[in-house]
Structure 1
């Protein structure tokens, strides 16, 4: 559905109490319901909240069904469309050189223009690298914050509707270019490390969320890194794993770049939302990785750094045990490629705004995420 056809929407939150709550799965068949948390009905568990988005035409019927099934619920947002309008109105209002620019969400075309401008202005520090094109033939770029040492990879925007992720990648580059001389930790890191930053990996899906449907999950690019270990083979399913590994050009481009530079890249970090978590391998199995203890120690330090920075509570642990079994995570893939320090950041919040995090929360979210990445980077330079 096009956004213009959805004047008012609600995001209810329900709490499954027992096995009869498969009614949520039935909702997906009977109503126009989009799951937010968890992403698929198969991962709904007892006593864990379920967040889902309801079309305005189905609100009363969904509430009636929840009441009939005696499932407790509350409405987290009662006008999703209004929130969406507020998030897109200031795309190009602020100059790209201003701090306020990084406290807004930006369209794909604006991000392309920003990349061109910031690399020209910081030619001594930044390099724009073309690594391929998307399914719809949009260019795929990474920005290299360059020094002649080992590197850390950070990608954002694997999932189209998670706008805070690309916002963080822009924030990271903006902070590095504008404030590196005042940030002693960043100055030290840049003496030892390259950073490869991919602001938007799923460029087609991200563009679609700006022009057509804001909340579409779109292609689950994380799943394409897998060999469908537990992912859906149904090409209409939200967690469809693809016809074969690296079937999509975006994934192939990233995978080939990482494979080519795997001995140079010492850490892989992928930015997502939402739930406030710092995850590490494995997600596709409950078995511990051989580096479990060290990765858990680093993740715990990240959580502590975030708490000291903004007082926000994040949870840490291996993906399968912290959230649920999920195949195809890019951090699992990177870890098995040989990049030991592989992490997934699930940024704010815990469900109050979900994928529609207000622009005024971009800054604190990015500040805390940056503190976490610095923690990982410091561990890397002390252990290479």
Structure 2
């Protein structure tokens, strides 16, 4: 209880500090969309970035591809004039970035309040808030302590320090039998809040899984997750400037003259083909690559951990936002690695599993071909120097498609998206990792395919029958292990045995339950190589009595017996039904309770009687 109160106090303070610190900084900043049609246009956009403080939000930088940019208030008219002179079409998306930031913050706050009012149980704070650096550390400690220490399922450690002396924390999750190793990181760019939240979501789910005694991918893989690779920049973005991207190391001459000239873009600082393209030598640019390759403490910490660890790494995944891309090397050049076909095939497996959860589509391809050429990324370094075979950058929601309903939020995705983005990403990553198990076994076996029939490793609720109150929410889950991996399908059958497919994926979540949601929910696991298996849950929705009178006006002769019918529906069933006549209880009646309640009532000599059920 004290822990929760402390977290709440810290969160309130951070929200206050954020609102105060960011007040008016982005006032009058315009968000525009441009459509470059020539190489000259692309060069002009890069010039804007280096010399006018323009912040290019879109990862794409190609001819005839929409590019979203934020313009400082003082430069708006000048940049628009230059665009017009050079024939670049400009569309204004938002004329006050500060208001867009506040809108996102307001939606997040409303979501948090609404969620905690509607559900009595405590909602984990990592699902409703973008946590601070300190809160992330407390969360990691809590998750580490939640695992079974006697089993050595987790370890929590720092891989290094930042310029502002913050630790870069990492957590390992895996069972003692695990011999293969995966590394993931989040939050290399400060403003991409959805990235660390997604890592925290996956950590929480993996801790649940590692504590389960049944077989899982954690019997094979140790998964190392660094949820926040750029803690200095992240803290600055939360408390000072929401759109900050770089770390916070000072840049000698420029330090103190211009606040934009602090920091280095960590994802341009890695020393594999450093500064060949897609990066800037200007310290005031958002894509400043640093004074030299591998100059930054965060860069060095990750490199040392990958190179000096005794582990052999199977895969490296780094999570960014935004755009909905699952991309592989190379970023520094248009040509691709020799094994790009295999890289693409594995990315397709992960992205297809991700899509089955919420219908979210990801584009797949090499970084340079799908987006633009940019050197110094952690992914290129992990592949080229770290010699890790499966390397990917996953750009999370929202989509960069201008027709997407949430594209305008970009880096400011409200916290309402934390859970759905985490949920679908977790499913996609797990499916990707399962495909690596299959690949290894295919290579080591004389058979063409190593097959394991589906078996359930967990499901919730444990009981086959469960009840919920009308208006509450319900979460059903069903997890299976198989090789090739199993697809999960949910079938709903109502009381009339009418069935329909309602979901693809491990978890079904329904809010504001109605009585019509009662019925059977069947989870079916199949991998097309073996017979499918299923698990059914019967769900009963409880609701208060509802009364219906079939005929509310009846006539009869005096002393004649009439039948008054009163239908009562409720779950649980009604245990007592009372009849009233002129607000007085009727005692001398015969009550029969069958599928409906029927009252045999004899009229008196009065001209009209009012009978109430």
| Aligned length, in residue pairs | 377
1:220 to 258, 265, 287: 265
Alpha-carbon shift at residue 319 of structure 1 (Å) = 1.3
Task: Give yes or no for contact 1:14–1:74 (8 Å, CA) kept in 2.
Answer: yes
Task: Give yes or no for contact 1:8–1:82 (8 Å, CA) kept in 2.
Answer: no
Secondary structure at the counterpart of residue 335 of structure 2: coil
1:343 to 382, 388, 392: 392
1:310 is aligned to 2:340: no
Task: Give yes or no for contact 1:274–1:354 (8 Å, CA) kept in 2.
Answer: yes
Q: Which moved more, 1:280-289 or 1:256-265?
A: 256-265
- TM alignment of 1:267-346, pairs within 5 A: 267-336=315-384, 337-346=386-395
Aligned to 1:190: 218
Gap regions ≥5 residues in structure 1 = none
CA offsets per residue over residues 197-248 of structure 1, 9 Å max, x none?
1010011111111122111221221222224151446251433333443321
CA offsets per residue over residues 158-204 of structure 1, 9 Å max, x none?
111111111111111122234677998xx611121111010100111
1:247 is aligned to 2:305: no
Aligned to 2:161: 133
Task: Give yes or no for contact 1:154–1:197 (8 Å, CA) kept in 2.
Answer: yes
Alpha-carbon shift at residue 283 of structure 1 (Å) = 1.4
Aligned to 1:162: 192
1:109 to 124, 131, 134: 134
Alpha-carbon shift at residue 118 of structure 1 (Å) = 2.4
CA offsets per residue over residues 252-305 of structure 1, 9 Å max, x none?
111111112364321100001111111112112222212111111111222222
Secondary structure at the counterpart of residue 225 of structure 1: coil
Secondary structure at the counterpart of residue 23 of structure 2: helix
Alpha-carbon shift at residue 323 of structure 1 (Å) = 1.3
Alpha-carbon shift at residue 101 of structure 1 (Å) = 3.1
CA distance in 2, matches of 1:281, 1:300: 15
CA distance in 2, matches of 1:77, 1:177: 42
1:201 is aligned to 2:229: yes
Task: Give yes or no for contact 1:103–1:359 (8 Å, CA) kept in 2.
Answer: yes
Alpha-carbon shift at residue 134 of structure 1 (Å) = 0.7
Aligned to 2:16: none
Alpha-carbon shift at residue 355 of structure 1 (Å) = 1.1
Gap regions ≥5 residues in structure 2 = 1-20, 247-263, 401-406, 441-613
CA distance in 1, matches of 2:280, 2:84: 34
Alpha-carbon shift at residue 369 of structure 1 (Å) = 1.5
2:63 to 28, 37, 46: 46
- 1:103 and 1:29, CA in 2 relative to 1: closer, same or farther beyond 3 A? same
Greater C-alpha Rg: 2
CA distance in 2, matches of 1:233, 1:12: 22
Aligned to 1:121: 146
- 1:20 and 1:293, CA in 2 relative to 1: closer, same or farther beyond 3 A? closer
